[in-house]
Structure 1
Amino acid sequence: MPDIPARQAVKYAVIRGVLDAIAWSGARRLLPSAGGRGVIFTLHHVRPSNGASYDPNAPLSVTPEFLDTAVQASLEAGLTPVAVEDLPELLADPADKRRFVSFTLDDGYRDNAEHAAPVFRRYGVPYTIFITAGFVERTHSLWWETVTLLTAGSDEIEFDFGGGAETLELATNAQKHAAYARFSTFVETAGEDEAVARIDALARRCGIDPLAVTSDLTMDASELRALAADPLARFGAHTLTHVNLRRVSEARLREELKGSAQAVETYVGRYPRAFAYPYGFAAAVGEREVEAAARAGFAVAVTTQPGVLSAAILDRPTAASRVSLNGYFQKKRYVEALLSGLAFKLT
């Protein structure tokens, strides 16, 4: 596993302890109701491990073997795999007592087609990929991937976060992680468009083409069209520019929602019924965004805020919780513990 900062290591140790306690105690069998009506899983990259000692995005990457394990664990737990956009209708049927699992993948990475789709086909499991039009069109960068390359490939870089130029030392993994955190905070707190543009400019000065990174990692329109031939594949919208929607104007919010849905229809020939909020945490999704997604006509919209499925999704289908399949927790017992729902009551 890659090196991680001390604070993150402590956090993960606590989470691992909770999941292990659930798995080894057998508590999930004593409290089956804690699992609700199932889960929506979140994934990003699905690809073989790169073995890097420094990878700040490692939580967003799981191996194809682990995805296979997660599918198996879900089926063994008695969950019925369904497409995420079908959940509200299924859960609204009082005669249907089944528990469900939906697999979703954000950002449209090429490895979703190369490594994830074959796993889903093996088990006949539907899956939904959320598409950002700016990535497909090669007009917007994945700043987190750009910053990873910047910090991984240099011993120092100079950047102005707003208080004058600073030299960031990058000789050790700890220094690299600290620099990555600075850039993340910069994107979260400054004007996001301007922050990303300045990161892209720095990357170019350092010999990195940020749009080439986008092209290397994400599917283009022709690849999406080819994948759409898979009857198990569904596609949802994920904005035009992958911006924090809570920080944009009303007009841009509407544009990001509607424009991305129209773009997805252009790529795959079907208008999307599902939407995923970029970032998805509480600071990126509020009541305004939830209501806007409903007005835009999405049957369901998903956050990254953890929780199991319940009847509450019928009241607020555009504020659905998801459960992350994290690259640092790639064991079957952790999936089983997550499916139990107990982890969300204990953390």
Structure 2
Amino acid sequence: RPVLARHGAPWTLFVTSGFADQAGRLWWIELEHAIARLDRVRIDIGSRSVDLPARSPQEKALAFEVVYRDLRRGREADLLDRIAELCRQAGFPPGRIASELCLSWAELRDLAADPAVTIGAHTVSHPMLAKHDAAFAAHEIAEGRARIEAELGRTVRHLSYPVGDPTSAGPREFALAREMGFATAVTTRPGHLFAEHAAHLQALPRVSVNGCHQTGAALAGLLSGVPFLAWNRGRRVNVA
């Protein structure tokens, strides 16, 4: 916030209401913390048993990549159960990380008073919406927004889909956001904005600047848009 204020840059914070309640599961961070504490990662994923060493940083990084990738392919309920099991193996209960890392409603009210900040919605519990039925997805989106508006007293017009890739947000979710009256909704599908996106404001792409493997030159490449045209095979709009 201080850096953005120094540069006079407006910004948007998408709030997961359950995390602001200091509850919920930041499962990807739970997985990180569990593997950091364990010397071996033993877990059943579907019909397969995973048993990986996790002593060195390199082994831990590989174990995280394997478990994350394989769990993401399946049901979210199974993912949450398996990661909770790893948390217990590592000696800490699942579900406590939100209270350690996430802003409270009081802190969010302080941010929301800043005219440079737009508050957006990010569901109640941060689920991969496309993995659930339509009623569940609609409730998560609508209730997340309603809770933010009640707590912060600000109208919420923008949505960010949790995880946001095609396995987490697709045409059904785009339609839900449109029907609920969100002015825009953002995915994590890589790409730049083009005039054609005016017809798909609830399925906007994103340029991810997260500090991973990024230098000044890499950032310049991302901002040029060339990598995304290659990624999208020349398509300007990817909403399927």
- TM range, normalised to the smaller chain? 0.7 to 0.9
Alignment partners' CA distance in 1, 2:227 and 2:48? 44
Q: Which residue of 1 aligns with 2:100?
A: 216
Equivalences for residues 45-124 of structure 1 within 5 A: 117-124=1-8
Q: 1:100-133 deviations in whole A, cap 9, x for unaligned? A: xxxxxxxxxxxxxxxxx11111111111011112
Residue among 181, 203, 228 paired with 1:344: 228
Q: Does residue 281 in structure 1 map to residue 127 in structure 2?
A: no
Kindly tell me: are residues 342 and 194 of structure 1, through their superposed partners in 2, closer, same or farther at Cα, counting changes over 3 Å?
closer
Aligned 8 A contact 1:133 1:264 in 2: yes
Q: Which residue of 2 aligns with 1:175?
A: 59
Aligned 8 A contact 1:141 1:200 in 2: no
The 3-state SS of whatever aligns with 2:92 is: coil
Where does the alignment leave 5 or more consecutive residues of structure 1 unmatched?
1-116
Q: Which residue of 1 aligns with 2:217?
A: 333
Aligned 8 A contact 2:37 2:90 in 1: no
Equivalences for residues 154-303 of structure 1 within 5 A: 154-163=38-47, 166-303=50-187
The 3-state SS of whatever aligns with 1:120 is: helix
Alignment partners' CA distance in 2, 1:162 and 1:182? 14
Q: Which letter maps to 1:214?
A: A
Kindly tell me: are residues 187 and 267 of structure 1, through their superposed partners in 2, closer, same or farther at Cα, counting changes over 3 Å?
farther
Q: TM-score, normalised by structure 1?
A: 0.62
Aligned 8 A contact 1:224 1:267 in 2: no
Q: TM-score, normalised by structure 2?
A: 0.88
State the shift of 1:328 in Å: 2.7
Q: 1:37-76 deviations in whole A, cap 9, x for unaligned? A: xxxxxxxxxxxxxxxxxxxxxxxxxxxxxxxxxxxxxxxx
Q: Does residue 310 in structure 1 map to residue 194 in structure 2?
A: yes
State the shift of 1:150 in Å: 1.1
- How many aligned residue pairs are there? 231
Aligned 8 A contact 2:22 2:102 in 1: no
Q: Does residue 319 in structure 1 map to residue 203 in structure 2?
A: yes
The 3-state SS of whatever aligns with 2:188 is: coil
Q: Which residue of 2 aligns with 1:135?
A: 19
The 3-state SS of whatever aligns with 1:284 is: coil
Q: Which residue of 1 aligns with 2:235?
A: none
| Structure 1 segments of 4+ aligned residues over 4 angstroms from their partners | none
Which deviates more from structure 2 when the two are superposed, residues 310-319 or residues 148-157? 148-157
Between Structure 1 and Structure 2, whose CA radius of gyration is higher? 1
Q: 1:61-100 deviations in whole A, cap 9, x for unaligned? A: xxxxxxxxxxxxxxxxxxxxxxxxxxxxxxxxxxxxxxxx
Alignment partners' CA distance in 2, 1:248 and 1:256? 10
Q: Which letter maps to 2:125?
A: T
The 3-state SS of whatever aligns with 2:190 is: coil
Where does the alignment leave 5 or more consecutive residues of structure 2 unmatched?
232-240
Aligned 8 A contact 2:38 2:54 in 1: yes
Q: Does residue 145 in structure 1 map to residue 29 in structure 2?
A: yes
Aligned 8 A contact 1:301 1:320 in 2: yes
Equivalences for residues 35-50 of structure 1 within 5 A: none
Alignment partners' CA distance in 1, 2:76 and 2:199? 32
Q: Which letter maps to 2:160?
A: A
Kindly tell me: are residues 160 and 308 of structure 1, through their superposed partners in 2, closer, same or farther at Cα, counting changes over 3 Å?
same
Identity, % of aligned pairs? Answer: 34
Aligned 8 A contact 1:133 1:239 in 2: yes
Aligned 8 A contact 2:23 2:99 in 1: no
Q: Which letter maps to 2:180?
A: A
Q: Which residue of 2 aligns with 1:81?
A: none
State the shift of 1:290 in Å: 0.8
